[in-house]
Structures are given as structure tokens and as C-alpha cells.
Chains A and B, each alone.
Chain A
């Protein structure tokens, strides 16, 4: 497939057809002119902070520290062995990610398939489902706070008793409230990617399958799915990444509460650094753990799913 995931695309090295060694200085100058600006901004705001974050994750740096001391692996050891809140938040995030990735992709693909079926109302429905994605994550959380605390309890009075829940106040329910909002906001984006992929499925393949007597379900499983596998790889990659890093929605809806019942990892790190203990070094160590987990899981995901992609 032509499409490639971010991690495995490297420009192909071609043999030089001509050697232009006349002016090496000029070549370097032009390199600097074109790459310099990007390099400076990237270096200052991405690279140096990143290197710093790795370094400080091995120190006891905190808001009050006069001297920053190197403490070896002790932050990491503490995160794994002596921080129940962090462990809980990690498990919660993994559970959240599993549910959101599956639901969001299944729903987005289903809606995309349904919309592809329509003729005149295609763009109307596309807009309806995509609109939530134009609303900022934190604003979506505020909108849904209103829905959860005012609208649904009133709806419940019209015989829809099941809507009368402690949507944000009950620890058993609020986790699923967050998932609802995340899916409401995120599905439209994935739907757009799926629609584009479905439009790329060659019609002659489907026709050939129909002539061979395939039912529409068989057609879907054996023709459509393999042909849009590259899109599925990408959407799963995107949803996986986003779900692991979930922050805004939880911050806006529950703030991690009630208690710490909906505290996801990103929120745990944020609290450690900026609103709880101000232990920067330790928070950095936790964020490195999060990074490595995301890295490992996405590499496995891309590797496994790439293997299932086929050429048209």
C-alpha cells in the first residue's frame, strides 16, 4: 500500500547521479537556510525539553528544591511499587483505551458504511456526525456537564427512568459518562477517514464478488475489510494514541473524581506536577513510563495490522 504509518517512513536513498562538489559551502548554506528555522523551533520547544524530561526523571527535582540531586532509578521504582494512585490510574487508562478504541472504530465504520449507502443526504449526515469534532474537547466536556446534570435528569421524568443516574457523581457511572463524551466527540473524525477509504474500494472487486454469489456480508468481510485495512491501521493507531493520553475530557467533566475514581494517567501526572506535590522529577518519570507503554503498544499494533494489509 502507498500509505505508510509515521514510524516507518524514511525517504528512500537514491544513488547520486551527478556529483556537484564544486561548492560544498554553498550546499551547507542552503541546507541551513531551509532547515534552520524548523530546527531552531523544534530544538528549543521539543528536543531540549524532551532531553530535559528524560534527565530530570532520574532526579529529585521539585518546586522547592534548591539543589537537584541525581537519584538513579528510584523515581521509577517508586512509580511501580509504591504509588497506588499511579497504578490505579494506569489500569483505568488501559481499560478506557480498550473500550474507546473498539467502540469508536466500530461505530465510525458502521456509520461510514451507512452514509456511503445514501445519495442525496450523504453530506448532511456527514456534517451531523462530524460537527462534534469541531467543538474543542474541553468545551465538549462543559456541554456534556450541562447534559448530565440538567438535561438527562429532566428527561428521566418523561418515563425514561434509566436516565436518572449520578452521571458525574457516582464513581461507577462517571467512567462510562467520560467514555460517552469521548466517543461522541471522536467518532466523526474516524468516520471521515473511513468514508474516504470506502470510496477507494474498487467497484469491480465488489461486482466480481457479487457475480461469484457472495452475500453482502461476505462481500464486506472478504472484500471491503481487506481493502480498507490500511485505514483501519491508521484509525486504530490514532484512537489508541489519543485514548492513552486522554486528559481534557476528564479534566472538564469530573476532574478525576469523585475521589480519584476517574483519574487517568495524564491527570495523575498533571496532579503530581502542578497541583499536588509539585514533584517535577517524579512526574517526569511517570510520563516516561506512559510514553514507553504507548510506544510498545503502538509498535505492536502497527506491526500486526500492517501484516494484514493487501494490495489492490
Chain B
């Protein structure tokens, strides 16, 4: 019995190591080769770099102005997340606290779009953005994300509000606090677990999104990091050292985020799924 258990544990480990290696292999290859010259990549892609060619990175930085692109990505993501978290939780709170026919209809109205593929609205959305003058700006792009992401936030936060006892708000009301004060000072902190979940799900979405920025941003100076790398990839199709360096730089912010927020990210995904 014990031997059998030990045996299956070893098999288990072997399978995980093999699958894990396959999963990790592409990332490893990209990182290792980002330090090589073009010649080295073409002749011995598997070997470790003999000399580290950091110039790949400086060239990539020069080519696509990565700092600016990172700044743009940060702007878009920041505006999107703040708006989604704040407006979504306000609406979700109000809907959960005033049950009734009107609330039900409004709730359904917000939810009805959750299954609609982005491709169905992309053409008219582009036109709308163009008409009201938010096309071609990072701030405008952030605002668009609020509109696209707020439903999910309303859904998650209204579910969470129902688990918070009403007594606190009633006490605050008796003490003379206005509704807004009550929301900001009492409800908002209590909602923080679900707000973190909402924030993380949206961070992964907005930071990594490709098609919407592609349609909205027209000036190279406004490009997000993803869009910049796309341009680089299109223009220097075979200049692998530079491309690989850019790919690594793009991914680093997310890896750092993962290292610091690992617990919240994994919980956020599981929570978001169970509630969603």
C-alpha cells in the first residue's frame, strides 16, 4: 500500500515536470535568446548566450519608445480600472439595496450585453468614439473601457453587497450621514475584497487588450505597449534579437504584478468565476 502510494506520487511528479517544462519552454527560449545576436539565434537557439548582448534591449527601447508606451498603457489601465471599480460598485450597491421591479429591469439592462462579442460593436463603437472625439487619445480609450467593463463590476459588487448587513448603513443614517458619505466611508471599505477581484480581472484584460487600442489609437505616440510591440513585429519581422527583447520587456510588468499580487490574482480568478 505504501509503496503503491509512493509510486503514484512519483508518476504524478514526472507528469507535472514534463508538462510544466513544455509550458515553461517558450518563455525560457524567448528570455534566453533575447540576449543573443541574430547569428547565435540562427545557429544555436538552444544554447545559453556566450556573451550577453544587452544592446538588444537598448535598441528595442530606442525603436519603439518603450517608456512612453508603458506610460500610455498605465494611463489607459488606470483610468479604466478606477472608473469600473468606482462606478460599478456604486451602481451595484444601489441596485442591491433597493430591491424592486425598477432595479430588476435596470440590472437586466446592464447584464444584457455581457454575452455580446466585441466584434459586434467594434464598428459602431469606433464611429461613436470618432464622433465624440475620444478616438486617438489614451484618456478616451480608458473611458471606453469603463463603458465596456462596468456591467461585470455591477454584477459582482451587487452580489457582494447582499452579504453585508444593513444595520451599519442604518446606524450611519441615524447619525446624520448622507448616502454618499455612508457609501464612501462605510460601504466602500467593506466591499474591498470584491473590489480587488474586479480590479485584477480588469487589469489583466485592459493591460493585455489588443484590438480595441488597435482601433482607437491612431498616433504612434499614444500607442500602448502591446500596440508598440505589434508595430515592431510588423516592421522588423526577422530582427529577432530586438523583437525578443521587446517581448520580454512587455511581459516584465505583468510578471512583477504576479509576484506581488499572486494571492489576490489567483483568488480573484476563482472568485470571479464562481460569482460570474
Contact = CB atoms under 8 A, between A and B. Distances in A.
B87 A37 contact: yes
Given A12-B99, A38-B154, A117-B12, A6 B276 contact: yes
A283 interface: yes
Contacts of A218: none
B107 A10 contact: yes
A139 B230 CA distance: 8
A298 B233 CA distance: 36
Interface string A48-82: 11101100100000000000000000000000000
Given A147-B26, A247-B119, A45 B125 contact: yes
B174 interface: no
Contact of A142 (B207, B247, B276): B247
A159 interface: no
A42 B275 contact: no
Contact of A238 (B46, B129, B254, B273): B273
Contacts of A42: 110, 113, 147, 150-151
Given A35-B91, A137-B208, A41 B143 contact: yes
A290 B120 contact: yes
B41 A134 contact: no
Interface in B209-250: 209-211, 215, 226, 229-230, 233, 240, 243-244, 247, 250
Nearest to A142: B233
A231 B273 contact: yes
Nearest to B107: A11
A254 to B, nearest CB: 13
A124 to B, nearest CB: 9
Nearest to B255: A134
Contacts of B211: 247-248, 270
Nearest to A133: B204
B257 to A, nearest CB: 8
Interface in A161-210: 184, 188-189, 192-193, 195-196
Contacts of B159: 9
A150 B113 contact: no
Interface string A1-40: 0110111011111101000000000000011011101110
Given A11-B104, A16-B100, A139-B250, A126 B110 contact: no
Main secondary structure of the interface of A (DSSP, over half): helix
Interface in A246-299: 247-248, 251-252, 266, 269-270, 273-274, 280, 283-284, 287-288, 290-291, 294-295, 298
A125 B16 contact: yes
Nearest to B230: A138
Given A3-B275, A37-B87, A238-B273, A192 B179 contact: no
Main secondary structure of the interface of B (DSSP, over half): helix
Contact of B87 (A13, A41, A52): A41
A136 interface: yes
B15 interface: yes
Contact of A234 (B125, B144, B274): B274
A251 B234 CA distance: 12
B88 A38 contact: yes
Contact of A129 (B23, B104, B125, B274): B23
B121 interface: yes
A3 B115 contact: no
B138 interface: no
Interface string B48-77: 000000000000000000000000000000
A144 interface: yes
B1 interface: no
A45 B208 contact: no
A252 B232 CA distance: 12
B122 interface: yes
B113 A47 contact: yes
Contacts of A130: 258, 266
Given A41-B150, A126-B266, A146-B33, A53 B13 contact: no
21 contacts: A3-B274, A9-B111, A11-B99, A11-B158, A37-B90, A38-B88, A41-B146, A45-B125, A52-B124, A53-B120, A53-B124, A125-B16, A128-B23, A134-B254, A135-B251, A136-B254, A138-B226, A147-B25, A150-B33, A192-B269, A291-B120
Given A118-B16, A134-B258, 7 more contacts: A38-B110, A49-B127, A131-B24, A151-B29, A231-B273, A288-B120, A295-B115
10 closest cross-chain pairs (CB), A and B: A45-B147, A196-B270, A136-B208, A34-B94, A52-B124, A38-B91, A49-B124, A41-B147, A287-B120, A49-B125
